[in-house]
Amino acid sequence: MQSGCKEKSYVTISPSLYSADLLNIRQVLRSLEGFEHLHLDVDDGNFVRGISFGMDVIEGVAECTDIPLDAHLEVLNPMDYVAPLARAGVELICAHVEVLDFPSLFLSSVHRYGKKAGLALNIKTPIAYIEPYADQLDQLILVSCEADVDGLPFRRGVLKKLSEARLKLEEHTKIWVDGGVNKSNLRSVVDAGADGVVLGRAVFGSENPVDTYVQLLELGRGYEKERDSNAV
């Protein structure tokens, strides 16, 4: 362990581009000045029902913006995406442990490209599934909703799971919550220990996504400051 002062990291909000106006994606990207992260949900129509971005679109997005990109692979064959995503410039690549025969191989493959690597857990998958790989994890995504015809309701049971993960994972591992997070439940997610959240409709479904993003980022970091002060 290194000595000295550790640089403070702050709660991350990564808006999901899948919730934006995809028919005007170039214009959307130009409008996102000030965004610190952008989330790419890569869905193949097999692991989940929807189909989102192909590599051509992801490469185009990377060429059109300097915003750091993170990818959440909701696909059956994550290993097929590692090299193309890394070459496109995606900085963080995360796959679901449920589909990986050898999670350690996936994580090390991402790291070989000099990128950050993570695993994701569906809402019913226990934390124990990722514990053997804790020392390799830069990120854990906890999925906090299940899709249905009415949308993506937030499942509060993820808060207990989040607290458990924070106790079991390395301090450097960032834990993000993805699904159904919005202004009304952001405080509870941050209070439970989240380092980041993925927001979709809460940002891109608003009248002014940039203003909404800035407002939610300020709220999240304010909640984080209160959380950390209370923990002292």
- Mean predicted confidence (pLDDT) in 217-221: 96
Neighbours of 98 (CB within 10 A): 15
> Residue 5 has what pLDDT?
43
pLDDT digits (tens, 9 = 90+) for 77-130: 999 999 999 999 999 999 999 999 999 999 999 999 999 999 999 999 999 999
Q: Is the pLDDT of residue 142 over 90?
A: yes
Distance CA 23, CA 217 (A): 26
pLDDT digits (tens, 9 = 90+) for 3-62: 344 456 789 999 999 999 988 999 999 999 889 999 999 987 667 666 678 888 899 999
The percentage of residues in the chain with a pLDDT greater than 90, rounded to a whole number, is 79
Model confidence band, residue 2 (pLDDT cutoffs 50, 70, 90): very low
- Smallest CA-to-CA distance from 25 within 209, 149, 177 is with 209
pLDDT digits (tens, 9 = 90+) for 159-201: 999 999 999 998 899 999 999 999 999 999 999 999 999 999 9
> Could you please report the per-residue DSSP string of 11-23?
-EEEEBGGGS-GG
Q: Is the pLDDT of residue 212 over 90?
A: yes
Give, to the nearest 10 degrees, the angle between helix 79-88 and helix 55-64.
20
> Residue 1 has what pLDDT?
34
> Residue 153 has what pLDDT?
83
Distance CA 107, CA 115 (A): 10
Which CATH class name applies to 12-145+154-231? alpha beta
- Smallest CA-to-CA distance from 47 within 77, 19, 26, 74 is with 74
Q: Is the pLDDT of residue 148 over 50?
A: no
> Residue 45 has what pLDDT?
65
> Residue 90 has what pLDDT?
97
Distance CA 158, CA 152 (A): 14
Contact criterion met (CB below 8 Å) for 17 and 27: no
